[in-house]
């Protein structure tokens, strides 16, 4: 009896803009809010780096006929360590992103769409 399958669902916080984060909360919670925003952004940056490396490896492999084995920094955050098996290539991955449509959120929305585009390029390589 081996493992038949696994479903991993992860709900990620959005990237925290320092101006927006600090203006929402009162002054008394500003240091905690800054630390929380920093931790969120660090994890999301690490995830973005992993996704970029995985999709870049797929692109270079498609161009040269052989997949490049670039270092993928899964150990850079707890989030990427947690998702390593899911992103490692032997899984089908679906990503759902949400966007805010207000004009003041256009930069964040474009960044989210670019992330989704890179994630879509991560290859699925079924291993026996």
| Residue 58 belongs to a domain | yes
What does the block give as tokens for 84?
């390593």
| Residue 112 belongs to a domain | yes
Domain interval for residue 84: 18-120
CB proximity list for 40: less than 8 A, separation 6 or greater: 13, 15, 16
Kindly report, residue by residue over 52-99, the tens digit of the pLDDT: 999 887 777 655 545 456 789 999 999 999 999 888 777 888 889 999
pLDDT, position 116: 92
| Residue 43 belongs to a domain | yes
pLDDT average, residue stretch 89-110? 88
User: What's the structural domain count of the chain?
Assistant: 1
Is 49's pLDDT higher than 80?
yes
pLDDT, position 53: 92
pLDDT, position 83: 92
Kindly report, residue by residue over 8-48, the tens digit of the pLDDT: 888 888 776 655 554 555 555 688 888 888 898 999 999 99
pLDDT average, residue stretch 97-126? 89
* CATH code for position 54: 1.20.58.980
- Tell me how far apart the alpha carbons of residues 30 and 20 are, in angstroms, rounded to a whole number: 12
Q: Which helix (H) or strand (E) holds 112?
A: helix 106-120
| Residue 103 belongs to a domain | yes
- Tell me how far apart the alpha carbons of residues 73 and 45 are, in angstroms, rounded to a whole number: 11
pLDDT, position 13: 81
What does the block give as tokens for 108?
């964040």
Number of C-beta neighbours around residue 21 at 10 A: 17
| Residue 1 belongs to a domain | no
């Amino acid at each position: 009896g081996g493992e038949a399958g696994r479903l991993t669902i992860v709900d990620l916080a959005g990237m925290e803009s320092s101006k927006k984060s600090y203006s929402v909360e009162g002054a008394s919670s500003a240091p905690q809010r800054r630390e929380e925003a920093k931790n969120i952004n660090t994890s999301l940056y690490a995830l973005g780096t992993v996704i970029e490396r995985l999709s870049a490896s797929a692109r270079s492999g498609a161009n040269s006929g052989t997949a490049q084995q670039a270092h993928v920094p899964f150990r850079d955050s707890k989030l990427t360590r947690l998702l390593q098996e899911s992103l490692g290539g032997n899984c089908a991955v679906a990503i759902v992103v949400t966007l805010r449509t207000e004009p003041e959120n256009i930069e964040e929305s474009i960044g989210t769409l670019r992330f989704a585009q890179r994630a879509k390029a991560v290859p699925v390589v079924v291993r026996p």
